[in-house]
Amino acid sequence: MDLKNAPFFYPRIFWDIDVEKLDYEAKFSFIIERVFERGDVEDIRRCLNTGFILPAR
């Protein structure tokens, strides 16, 4: 995923890693899990609205 299309996540979700260096494609499962564990409804919506989480086809 191109970083310009990557959703913005607040530091409270990824406080322990450098988000600038995060590989969104390789760490997709980790990112989704972390957003659901530590994020709020708006964080999940941000994932959906940017196309980061694509609906099953």
HSE at residue 36, side-chain half, CA atoms within 13 A, is 8
Considering the domain boundaries, does residue 40 fall inside one? Answer: yes
Q: 39 lies in a domain?
A: yes
Average pLDDT of the chain to the nearest whole number:
80
Do the domain assignments include residue 56? no
Q: Judge whether 25 lies within some domain.
A: yes
- State how far the Cα of 44 lies from the Cα of 19, in Å rounded to an integer: 17
5 secondary structure, DSSP code: G
The domain in which residue 10 lies consists of: 3-49
Predicted model pTM:
0.71
pLDDT digits (tens, 9 = 90+) for 35-44: 889 999 998 8
pLDDT tens figures, 6-16: 677 888 898 89
Residue 32 lies in a domain: yes
C-beta of residue 21 within 8 angstroms of C-beta of residue 12: no
